C-alpha cells in the first residue's frame, strides 16, 4: 500500500465508528467505546506512520505528498478533491492524532464506565449518582454511568472524522466540509445534556455565532473560485504568478487587493471558529458540554482549525507584501489577535468557574497565534498552535478530573455546591496527586514557565518575532497578556490545588480512574518535551543541543522560507519576567483564601473587576444589538405584520371574497332560478294532479263516456284530416 492511500484512509475509521455505533452497538456501551477507541487508535497509527514517513522526505514543503481524484464535473473540467501532506499538515495531524486519542480514552473514565446506572438519571441530563449498598448495609452515593454513553462516542467519532478531513484536505472545499461537520458536532455536543436549558441556549449560541463566520468564509471560497477557477491549495498558494496577480489586483472594496479581500472573508470564518473578538461569545458558554468535548472541540482541535486555515492561506494573506511590511489584511489579523489576547486574558482573571477560566484562556492563546500570523511570524504561530493544543487539552482534561473529584466529594458529603467553582476547592493536591502534577505542568506550559515548558518556547518565539520586526504595540500588548495569563493560571492552580480545603467536598475529593489519569500523564509529557524541538539555535548554552526542528520543518511549507530573527535578550527577559511575575503575583494574592472569602482582586480592582466578571457585558451588548432586535423583528415585523397582516390578511381576503361570491350565487342564482325551477316543477305537478283528480270519479260509466267522446273526437279529427281535407 502506498503512502497516498494511507493518507486517504486516515479520516475514515472514526466515521465508520460513528455509523457502527449509531446503527448497531448503540445499546451496548462497552462495544461502543471499544469501536470508537479502536477507530481513533487506527487513525492515530496511520497518522504517525505517515508523519514518520513524511519527515524522512527532504524538502517536504516543496514536494508534499499529494493525491487527488476527480469528484464533481464542472462544465468541461472536473473539480478535484484530494489529500495533501506537507509540513503544516504534518504538525497539525501530529497534535490532532494525539489529543483525539487521549480524549477518547479519557471519555471512558469521564462518563463513569463501569459504574451502575443512576437512580434518577435520564437521557439529556448529566448523571446524578447511584445508591449502592456495601457489605455492611451502608448506603453510599457513587457516580453513575452516563445514560447516553454510546451516543457520546458516536458523535466524537464523527467529530474526529471532520477534523482529520480538514487537516488532510488539499483544497478549500473538502476543508470546508470538514469544518462544517465539526461545527455540527460542536453544536450537538455542547447540547449533549439537552435537558438543561443553559446547554440548549449555549448550543444555539455557538451554532449561530460560528455560522456568522462560516457564511463569510463560504463567500471567500466562492470569490476565490471565481477569481482563480480552482480551490486547490497548490495551484493558488504555491503559484507566485497567481499570488502576484491576486495581490496586485484591486478588489474595489475599501482598498483591499483581491487576495486581501479573500483573505479577509476566510479570516472572518476563522474568527468565528476560533472564537476571536468580536465572535468570541460562544466559546465560554460552550463549556456547558461534557469536559472531553471542551477539551477536544473547544481547546485542542476545532478552535485550532481557524488558526490552521489562516496559516494555510498565509501566502494569500502575504500576497502583495513589500519590503517586509505587512499587508492591510495582516494588520487586521494582528489587531484582532492582539486585542483578543489581552481582552480575553483580562476576563479570565475574574472568572470563578474552572472551565470558564480555561475557555477565556483558549480565546486569549488563539489570539496570540493570530497576532503572530498578523506580524508574519508564521512558524511561531504554527509552533504555538501545536504546543497550545497539547497543554490546553491537558488543562481541560485536568479540570474535568478535578470536577469529577469534587463531584465524588459532593456525593460523599451531600453538600449543595457548584463542583466547578474554584472557591469551593483548595487543597486538592493531597487528594488528587496525579491530576495536581499534570495540571501544574499544563498550567506552567500555559504560563510560559521558562526553559522547561513547551509554552515558553512557543510564546518566546512570538515575542522574538514581534520584537525583531519592531511591532512594538503587538509586543507590549502580548507581553501584558502573557503576564495576565501567568497570573490567572497561578490563581487557578492556587485556588484549586494549594492551600487548605474550603469545603468538605474538597476534603473528600478522590483521584480519578486510570483511564482519565493516563491521558493526563501522556499529554503532560508532550507539554514539556515538545517545546524543545523549537529552541532557537542561537539561544545561549542550550541552543545547539537539539536542532530547531520546528523552524526548519514547518518553515518549508512556505515558498519563501521566513528568515530567523536574530536572538536578542530583550524579548527573552520580557518573557521570563512576565511569566514568573504573573505566577508569583497569582500565588501571593490567592495563597491564603479562606472558605467563603471574597476574591481579593475584587477589593483591589473594584468596579473594573465587576466589568471583567461580566465579560465587558458583551453578552448583554449582543443581546441588545442582535438578539432583542431579532426578537422584535420576529414579533413585530415577521409575526404581527408579515404573517398576521399580509399572509393571513390575504387568506382572509380570499375567504371573504369567496363568501361574497358564494352568497351572490346562492341568493341570485341558486335560490331563485335552480331551486325555483325545481319547486315550480313539483308545485305544477301537484296542481295539475289536483285538477285531474276531479275527473277521476271512480265511476266506470263516466270513464267509458269519456272514452267514447274522445274516440269520437279523434275519429272526427281523423276523418277531417284524411277524408274531408282532400
Partner 1 sequence: MMVPISWYLIFAAALFSIGLFGVLSRKNAIAILMSIELMLNAVNINLVAFWRYSYSLEISGQAFAVMVFAVAAAEVAVGLAIFISVYRRRGTISADEIDLLKW
Q: Does 696 bind partner 1 (CB under 8 A)?
A: yes
Q: What angle do CA 608, 625, 353 make, to 5 degrees?
A: 45
Among 56, 133, 690, 701, binds partner 1 (CB under 8 A): 701
Whose CA is closest to 294, among 433, 214, 402, 410?
402
Stretch that binds partner 1, among 296-304, 586-594, 624-632, 697-705 (CB under 8 A): 697-705
Q: Report the nearest approach of partner 1 to the CB of residue 698 (Å).
A: 3
How many helices (H) and strands (E) in the chain? Answer: 32, 4
Applying CB under 8 A, which of residues 691, 700, 723, 724 lies at the interface with partner 1?
A: 700
Determine the Cα–Cα distance for residues 658 and 180; give it in Å rounded to an integer.
49
Question: Shortest approach of partner 1 to residue 696 CB, angstroms?
Answer: 6
Asked if residues 69 and 80 have their Cβ atoms less than 8 Å apart, the reply is yes
From 74-82, 500-508, 647-655, 702-710, span contacting partner 1 (CB under 8 A): 702-710
CA angle 586, 478, 400 (to 5 degrees): 50
Nearer to partner 1, 657 or 708 (CB): 708
**Of 698 and 725, which has the nearer Cβ to partner 1?**
698
CB nearer to partner 1: pick between 252 and 698: 698
Q: How far is the CB of 697 from partner 1 (least distance, A)?
A: 6
Q: Which one, 74 or 697, has the nearer CB to partner 1?
A: 697
Write the CB contacts of 570 (distance below 8 Å, at least 6 apart in sequence).
Answer: 467
Q: How far is the CB of 675 from partner 1 (least distance, A)?
A: 32
b/e burial code for range 23-40 (CB count within 10 A of at least 16 → b): eebbeebebbbbbbbebb
Q: Does 697 bind partner 1 (CB under 8 A)?
A: yes
Is the Cβ–Cβ distance between 300 and 98 less than 8 Å?
A: no
Tell whether residue 705 is a contact of partner 1 (CB under 8 A).
yes
Q: What x/- string results for residues 398 through 437 when contact with partner 1 is judged by CB under 8 A?
A: ----------------------------------------
**Span of 222-230, 450-458, 692-700, 713-721 interacting with partner 1 by CB under 8 A:** 692-700
Contact 649, 643 (CB under 8 A): no
Residues facing residue 325 across a β-bridge: 322
**Interface with partner 1: number of residues (CB under 8 A):** 10
| Residue 704 lies near partner 1 (rule: CB under 8 A) | yes
What span, in angstroms and rounded, lies between the C-alpha atoms of 518 and 110?
A: 12
Q: Which is nearer to partner 1, 661 or 705 (CB)?
A: 705
Q: How far apart are CA 241 and CA 233, in angstroms?
A: 14
Q: How far lies 251's CA from each of 30, 232, 239, 269, 563, in Å?
A: 56, 21, 20, 19, 30
The answer to whether residue 690 forms part of the interface with partner 1 (CB under 8 A) is no
Within 8 A by CB and 6+ apart from 405, the residues are 428, 431, 432, 435, 509, 510, 511, 512
708 or 718: CB nearest partner 1: 708
Instruction: Between 651 and 705, name the residue whose CB sits nearer to partner 1.
Output: 705
Q: Determine if residue 616 is left, alpha or beta; phi over 0 gives left, psi from -120 to 50 gives alpha, anything else beta.
A: left
Contact window for partner 1 (CB under 8 A) among 278-286, 375-383, 469-477, 699-707: 699-707
- Nearest approach in angstroms of CB 715 to partner 1 is 14
Neighbours of 115 (CB within 10 A): 17
Least distance in Å: CB of 695 to partner 1? 10
Q: How far is CA 230 from CA 141, 171, 235, 453, 652, in A?
A: 60, 9, 7, 42, 52
Nearer to partner 1, 73 or 698 (CB): 698
CA-CA-CA-CA torsion sign (274, 279, 285, 289): negative
Among 27, 594, 603, 699, binds partner 1 (CB under 8 A): 699
Give the integer Cα–Cα distance in Å for 703 and 696. Answer: 8
- Residues in a beta bridge with 171: 232
Stretch that binds partner 1, among 283-291, 372-380, 407-415, 693-701 (CB under 8 A): 693-701
Applying CB under 8 A, the span of 151-159, 389-397, 621-629, 704-712 interacting with partner 1 comes to: 704-712
Q: Candidates 32-40, 71-79, 364-372, 694-702: pick the segment binding partner 1 (CB under 8 A).
A: 694-702
Q: Does 698 bind partner 1 (CB under 8 A)?
A: yes
Nearest residue (CB) to partner 1, 570 versus 686: 686
Which positions touch partner 1 (CB under 8 A)? 696-701, 703-705, 708
Amino acid at each position: 500500500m502506498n503512502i497516498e492511500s494511507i493518507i486517504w484512509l486516515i479520516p475514515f475509521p472514526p466515521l465508520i465508528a460513528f455509523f457502527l455505533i449509531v446503527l448497531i452497538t448503540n445499546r451496548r456501551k462497552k462495544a461502543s467505546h471499544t469501536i470508537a477507541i479502536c477507530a481513533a487508535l487506527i487513525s492515530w497509527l496511520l497518522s504517525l506512520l505517515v508523519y514518520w514517513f513524511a519527515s524522512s522526505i527532504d524538502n517536504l514543503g516543496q514536494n508534499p505528498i499529494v493525491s487527488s481524484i476527480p469528484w464533481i464535473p464542472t462544465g468541461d473540467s472536473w473539480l478535484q478533491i484530494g489529500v495533501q501532506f506537507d509540513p503544516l499538515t504534518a504538525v497539525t495531524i501530529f497534535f490532532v492524532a494525539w489529543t483525539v486519542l487521549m480524549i477518547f480514552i479519557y471519555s471512558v473514565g469521564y462518563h463513569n464506565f463501569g459504574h451502575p446506572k443512576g437512580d434518577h438519571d435520564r437521557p439529556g441530563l448529566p448523571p446524578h449518582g447511584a445508591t449502592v449498598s456495601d457489605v455492611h448495609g451502608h448506603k453510599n452515593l457513587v457516580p453513575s454511568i452516563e445514560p447516553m454513553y454510546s451516543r457520546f462516542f458516536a458523535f466524537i467519532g464523527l467529530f474526529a472524522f471532520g477534523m482529520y478531513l480538514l487537516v488532510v484536505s488539499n483544497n478549500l472545499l473538502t476543508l470546508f466540509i470538514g469544518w462544517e461537520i465539526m461545527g455540527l458536532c460542536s453544536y450537538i455536543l455542547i447540547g449533549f445534556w439537552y435537558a438543561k436549558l443553559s446547554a440548549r441556549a449555549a448550543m444555539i449560541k455557538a451554532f449561530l455565532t460560528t455560522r456568522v463566520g462560516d457564511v463569510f468564509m463560504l463567500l471567500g471560497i466562492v470569490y476565490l473560485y471565481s477569481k482563480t477557477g480552482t480551490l486547490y491549495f497548490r495551484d493558488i498558494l504555491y503559484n507566485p504568478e497567481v499570488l502576484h496577480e491576486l495581490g496586485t489586483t484591486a478588489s474595489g472594496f475599501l482598498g483591499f487587493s483581491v487576495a486581501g479581500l479573500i483573505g479577509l472573508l476566510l479570516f472572518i470564518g476563522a474568527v468565528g471558529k476560533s472564537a476571536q473578538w468580536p465572535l468570541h461569545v460562544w466559546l465560554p458558554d460552550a463549556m456547558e458540554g461534557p469536559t472531553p468535548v471542551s477539551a477536544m472541540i473547544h481547546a485542542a482541535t476545532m478552535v485550532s482549525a481557524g488558526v490552521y486555515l489562516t496559516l494555510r492561506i498565509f501566502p494569500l494573506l502575504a500576497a502583495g507584501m513589500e519590503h517586509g511590511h505587512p499587508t492591510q489584511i495582516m494588520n487586521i489579523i494582528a489587531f484582532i489577535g492582539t486585542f483578543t489576547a489581552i481582552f480575553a486574558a483580562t476576563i479570565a482573571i475574574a472568572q470563578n468557574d474552572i472551565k470558564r477560566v480555561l475557555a477565556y484562556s483558549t480565546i486569549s492563546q488563539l489570539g496570540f497565534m493570530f497576532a503572530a500570523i498578523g506580524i508574519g511570524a508564521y512558524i511561531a504561530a504554527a509552533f504555538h498552535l501545536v504546543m497550545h493544543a497539547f497543554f490546553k487539552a491537558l488543562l481541560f482534561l485536568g479540570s474535568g478530573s478535578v470536577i469529577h473529584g469534587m463531584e465524588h466529594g459532593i456525593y460523599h458529603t451531600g453538600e449543595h455546591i457548584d463542583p466547578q467553582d474554584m472557591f469551593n476547592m483548595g487543597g486538592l493536591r493531597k487528594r488528587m496527586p496525579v491530576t495536581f502534577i499534570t495540571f501544574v505542568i499544563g498550567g506552567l506550559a500555559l504560563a510560559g514557565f521558562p526553559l522547561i515548558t513547551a509554552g515558553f518556547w512557543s510564546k518566546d518565539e512570538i515575542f522574538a518575532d514581534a520584537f525583531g520586526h519592531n511591532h512594538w504595540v503587538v509586543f507590549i500588548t502580548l507581553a501584558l497578556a502573557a503576564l495576565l495569563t501567568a497570573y490567572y493560571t497561578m490563581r487557578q492552580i492556587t485556588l484549586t490545588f494549594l492551600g487548605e480545603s474550603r469545603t468538605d467536598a474538597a476534603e473528600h475529593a478522590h483521584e480519578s480512574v486510570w483511564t482519565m489519569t493516563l491521558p493526563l500523564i501522556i499529554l503532560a509529557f508532550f507539554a514539556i518535551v515538545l517545546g524543545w524541538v523549537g529552541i532557537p539555535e542561537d539561544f545561549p548554552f542550550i541552543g545547539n543541543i537539539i536542532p530547531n526542528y520546528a523552524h526548519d520543518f514547518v518553515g518549508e511549507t512556505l515558498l519563501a522560507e521566513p528568515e530567523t530573527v536574530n536572538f536578542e535578550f530583550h524579548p527573552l527577559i520580557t518573557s521570563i519576567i512576565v511569566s514568573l511575575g504573573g505566577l508569583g503575583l497569582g500565588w501571593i494574592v490567592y495563597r491564603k483564601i479562606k472558605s467563603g472569602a471574597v476574591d481579593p482582586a475584587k477589593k483591589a480592582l473594584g468596579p473594573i473587576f465587576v466589568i471583567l466578571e461580566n465579560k465587558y457585558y458583551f453578552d448583554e451588548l449582543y443581546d441588545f444589538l442582535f438578539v432583542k432586535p431579532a426578537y422584535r423583528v420576529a414579533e413585530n415585523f415577521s409575526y404581527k405584520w408579515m404573517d398576521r397582516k399580509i399572509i393571513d390578511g390575504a387568506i382572509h381576503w380570499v375567504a371573504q371574497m369567496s363568501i361574497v361570491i358564494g352568497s351572490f350565487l346562492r341568493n341570485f342564482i341558486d335560490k331563485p332560478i335552480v331551486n325555483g325551477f325545481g319547486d315550480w316543477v313539483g308545485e305544477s305537478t301537484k296542481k295539475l294532479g289536483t285538477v285531474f283528480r276531479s275527473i277521476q270519479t271512480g265511476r266506470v260509466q263516466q270513464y267509458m263516456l269519456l272514452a267514447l267522446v274522445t274516440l269520437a273526437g279523434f275519429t272526427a279529427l281523423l276523418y277531417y284530416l284524411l277524408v274531408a281535407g282532400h
